[in-house]
Structures are given as C-alpha cells and as structure tokens.
Amino acid sequence: KNEVEQSPQNLTAQEGEFITINCSYSVGISALHWLQQHPGGGIVSLFMLSSGKKKHGRLIATINIQEKHSSLHITASHPRDSAVYICAVSPPADKLIFGTGTRLQVFP
C-alpha cells in the first residue's frame, strides 16, 4: 500500500464546476504539499501546509492532521486548470513522498 494515496486518479469536469481532489497518507508528517504538473513535466508548488486551510485565488487546500487527510479544491474551474495534481508529504527529517497524481481535464 502506498504511503500517499490520491483520489480520484482521473477527473473530468465542465468549465465552471467545483472540483475536489483528495489525499490520504499513512505516515507522520511535518508538512503536506500540493503540486501542479503540466504536460511537459515541470512541477509548480501550489501549497505547503501543516494545519488548517490555505487559499490562493480559486484554489483552496485543507488538511486534517488527526485524520491524515487533505483536500485540494478548485472553484470555477477553467480549461487552463487541466493538469496533474500531486500530493506530497514531508515526514519529519525525511524525504518528500509523492502520490501518483490526479489527472484533471476541464472542458469548455
């Protein structure tokens, strides 16, 4: 069993829809990261959080440390949001552990 599990693996949406991507992990962590990867490979860091909730534009990330669960929400989705979204966790004094990603396609 992977230490970081994401769901769903694939997600399609119509422009304007509210999107939720989930991440569950089984290890103790000091932080959780949400990353965005576009075709071509480059990864962009969206959020790093260790508690509560963070918001940046149309993106919202939440984390529940007790339940070892985080969600990434996209409000008013747009075709340019189409990408792979990756959850990664930082165990204390250890390397990043990545999920396998959620492939999101938003259609006009």
Work out how close the CB of 30 gets to another protein at its nearest, in angstroms, rounded to a whole number.
Answer: 4
39 touching another protein, by CB under 8 A: no
* 85 to 2, 50, 92: CA distances (angstroms): 17, 18, 23
Work out how close the CB of 61 gets to another protein at its nearest, in angstroms, rounded to a whole number.
Answer: 13
Q: Candidates 16-24, 39-47, 53-61, 67-75: pick the segment binding another protein (CB under 8 A).
A: 39-47
In this structure, are residues 6 and 99 in contact, taking their beta carbons and an 8 Å threshold?
yes
Q: Which residues bind another protein (CB under 8 A)?
A: 4, 30-31, 33, 35, 40-45, 48, 50, 86, 88, 90-101
